[in-house]
Structure 1
Amino acid sequence: MKTTHSLAIAVLLATAGLAAQAQILIGQTSGFTGAVAAGVKETLAGAMLYFDRVNAKGGVGGQKVELLSMDDKFEPALAAENARELIEKKNVLALFLTRGTPHTEAIIPWLNKYHVPLVGPSTGAMVLHQPVQKYIFNVRATYQHEAEKAITHQASIGLSKIAVLYADDSFGADGLAGAQKGLQKAHLEAVGLYKFDRSKPDFASLAPAIVQAGAQSVLLVASGTHAVAAIEALRAAGSTAQCVALSNNATAGFITALGGNARGVIVSQVFPQSQSVALVKEMVDAARAKGLADTSPAMLEGFAAAKVLVEGLRRAGPRPTRERLQAALEGMDKFDLGGLEIGYSPTDHTGLDFADLSIIGPDGKFRR
């Protein structure tokens, strides 16, 4: 199912006529509707800030970069079908900025079959890092690294009764693995590990159990609306525990959805937030040039991913092919994103390893 977006910048409409005009056609499948819609739209907005700036200067080698986006409703099976259509029917050069762990896993067979690079999946799944997935080029850090850092931070400020609430899927298992590393490092055991069904979460029954366990802190390995619903259920059950979410919720939409529960929620970040970092300032300046007063960490993730893709296209030469782009990306060593260095090789497609923590302040903004 196709979707179009107007987020201050025009995205290519999925029509045969416009697709035929595309000079460098890039494909995207992501959850533009469903549990992660707010974050997906923000990451796309950030990516389009960069693509728009590049295209305004003549594109890459005189060719404009066009993005064809499809809505997978945050459903893995639909993500796989969209990827097949983008690759087989639309003949995209590469895929870009997918969202979700099981969703990205579902498209790997199509990447492998047609040798199509995927740049910047918006997921920190370890399975996309180790062992190396030949056609996947990660930009952001892993969920395991984030979760481990979140747990060790909580322990460092004296919180010893920590619970983990996680989705019953590969994303949840990944975050849980990182949390357990953090607990082990802090010489702690979780007061409870609580798994929920991603399709039918029952937070109303889980929240009282977490309160009963005396949790001082709850790490939420959950996406979008699920994290919001879980925090609401915890507060309704009387929990005053510190709630910690991963970077998949580092969006302005997440803060808005939390409403009165937003203040004090900790959210891990996989990119710096200070404009003293050149990449951050570049994105903020690009947003202001488009009349956008507010930006978000999710937008920065999309902006950075677009910058990596464009650099790969530049290095692939005047007539980029899937094979040339693959080789160019694998040869991208020590590329300066703007105060952050990223690089790949045939045996390392990890990208950045930056992770930090932020807290939602009384003004509804992420703060260090």
Structure 2
Amino acid sequence: MLKLISILSCCIALLGSPKLIADEVLKLGMSVALSGPAKDIGQQLRQGAQLYFEYANGLPDRSHPKVSLMVLDDGYEPARTVVNTRYLIDQHKVMALFGNMGTPTAHAIQAILTHHQLPFLVPFTGADFLRFNTPYPVFNWRASYLDEANEQVRYLVDEQGHKAIALLIQADEFGLTLEKSFRQALTARGLKPKVTARFRRNSADINKALKVIMRNEVTAVAMIGTYQPLSLFIDKAMHRGFKGTFTGVSFTSSTALFAQLTSKPALMISEVVPDPGKCQAQLCALFRSLIHKQHLATSPQIFEGFLNAAIFISALDYCPRPVTRACLADAMQQVLEKDPAIRTIFGLSDTENKPRVYRSYFQ
């Protein structure tokens, strides 16, 4: 039987588009930043996913195939993501991309995903172009960037009373997506940004943006970027006497940002997962137990990677055997809609299928 499977796999590979993967091991690929100024995000997403996959693979009574996750470093650079994606498809024969990190990196591989009809599962981005009418299979559960922008504007305008708000934006697709979302949320309240300043991705060159924002006498800054340049911006702004409020989105990585700050700002980060140290669901308890055994720190990004893997494993129960690419995205959506363990995590009612936005505050 194994010889027959091997022969069939070989023949399918020769035909060019492997749609069936041997049921014993499902191969997933992941391209994230493991080096460079955004490396903490990618490393934590990898840790969380591997934590759950190793747990699930080791269950003595498991009913699902084992999962193999190959993780490649793209440094949060789109060109490297393209190279990684081609390698994962052509050489590693992955069934899907899983947990990729970033909006510009996701944007760069759309043509490849479309050509191969490769499922793009649980990407670490809230970009709109991955949510509507995609020409390849996609599964998202995290809140959109518009959801996060609305939560931040609710905090800044409705709760804190700010009207003079600056936008600090990473100059790429990530920044453009969120700029549009923030402008939409502010327009709904009859406001617009007082000033918009930009900086380059994967750089800490924020001095020009800082000067622009400081001379416009704003009382709040909504920041769009990763933890390294944003921590530098906050500390320099505080050193220059800024007394207002800062916000950032989940992609920023609150844990990494908070750890790098030397000042004590008023700072809120919108999150897409509940506090993993406080939530009471069964999966939260399992996460804390496994984190403790592995001597890992707790963070929203590790928890998100963990939940991504848990949803994927649960989805395998909704796929026929042998598992195919075609079933994965829909099966993961069924988990979000039906699985009580996952729904409890997000506090979803019987009529809700959209996880909410949470908050972290710098203490």
TM category, shorter: 0.7 to 0.9
Q: How does 1:37-186 map to 2 (within 5 A)?
A: 37-58=39-60, 61=63, 63-132=65-134, 134-156=136-158, 157-186=160-189
- How big is each residue's C-alpha offset from its partner over 1:226-284, in whole Å with a ceiling of 9 and x where there is no partner? 222222332243322211111012342222222x2355321111111132344433322
| Amino acid in structure 2 at the alignment position of 1:164 | L
Three-state SS of the structure 1 residue aligned to 2:212 is helix
TM-score by length of 1: 0.83
Is the CA contact (8 Å cut-off) linking 1:121 and 1:138 kept in structure 2?
yes
Distance 1:52 1:178, change over 3 A: same
1:339 matches 2:344: yes
1:214 Cα shift?
Answer: 1.2
CA distance in 2, matches of 1:244, 1:327: 34
Alignment-derived partner of residue 285 in structure 1 = 289
Three-state SS of the structure 2 residue aligned to 1:261 is coil
1:322 matches 2:325: yes
Q: Unaligned stretches of 5+ in structure 1?
A: 1-19, 344-350, 362-368
CA distance in 1, matches of 2:88, 2:339: 29
Three-state SS of the structure 2 residue aligned to 1:265 is strand
Further displaced range: 55-64 or 128-137: 55-64
CA distance in 1, matches of 2:98, 2:182: 28
Q: How does 1:245-324 map to 2 (within 5 A)?
A: 245-258=248-261, 260-261=262-263, 264-273=266-275, 274-292=278-296, 294-324=297-327
1:327 Cα shift?
Answer: 5.0
| Amino acid in structure 1 at the alignment position of 2:292 | R
1:206 Cα shift?
Answer: 1.9
CA distance in 1, matches of 2:29, 2:117: 14
CA distance in 2, matches of 1:295, 1:357: 16
Larger radius of gyration: 2
1:319 Cα shift?
Answer: 2.1
| Amino acid in structure 2 at the alignment position of 1:223 | T
Is the CA contact (8 Å cut-off) linking 1:38 and 1:253 kept in structure 2?
yes
CA distance in 2, matches of 1:276, 1:262: 30
Is the CA contact (8 Å cut-off) linking 1:28 and 1:95 kept in structure 2?
yes
Alignment-derived partner of residue 239 in structure 1 = 242
- How big is each residue's C-alpha offset from its partner over 1:184-234, in whole Å with a ceiling of 9 and x where there is no partner? 233223221112232556421221221221111100011232222222332
1:178 Cα shift?
Answer: 1.7
Alignment-derived partner of residue 190 in structure 1 = 193
1:229 matches 2:228: no
1:331 Cα shift?
Answer: 5.0
Further displaced range: 334-343 or 272-281: 334-343
CA distance in 1, matches of 2:136, 2:185: 29
Three-state SS of the structure 1 residue aligned to 2:109 is helix
1:139 Cα shift?
Answer: 2.1
- How big is each residue's C-alpha offset from its partner over 1:120-158, in whole Å with a ceiling of 9 and x where there is no partner? 101111111123453121121111210121012111222
| Amino acid in structure 2 at the alignment position of 1:188 | L
| Amino acid in structure 1 at the alignment position of 2:200 | D
TM-score by length of 2: 0.84
| Amino acid in structure 2 at the alignment position of 1:280 | C
Is the CA contact (8 Å cut-off) linking 2:287 and 2:303 kept in structure 1?
yes
Is the CA contact (8 Å cut-off) linking 1:220 and 1:243 kept in structure 2?
yes
Alignment-derived partner of residue 12 in structure 2 = none
Is the CA contact (8 Å cut-off) linking 1:272 and 1:280 kept in structure 2?
no
Q: Unaligned stretches of 5+ in structure 2?
A: 1-21
Percent identity among equivalent residues? 24
CA distance in 2, matches of 1:82, 1:59: 34
Aligned residues: 334
Select the residue among 27, 35, 57 that pairs with 2:37: 35
Is the CA contact (8 Å cut-off) linking 1:172 and 1:221 kept in structure 2?
yes
CA distance in 1, matches of 2:312, 2:140: 11
1:181 Cα shift?
Answer: 2.1
Distance 1:218 1:278, change over 3 A: farther
| Amino acid in structure 2 at the alignment position of 1:128 | L
| Amino acid in structure 2 at the alignment position of 1:255 | F
| Amino acid in structure 1 at the alignment position of 2:29 | G
1:61 Cα shift?
Answer: 3.4
Is the CA contact (8 Å cut-off) linking 2:44 and 2:302 kept in structure 1?
yes
CA distance in 2, matches of 1:342, 1:113: 37
Is the CA contact (8 Å cut-off) linking 1:152 and 1:186 kept in structure 2?
no
| Amino acid in structure 1 at the alignment position of 2:69 | L
Three-state SS of the structure 1 residue aligned to 2:298 is coil
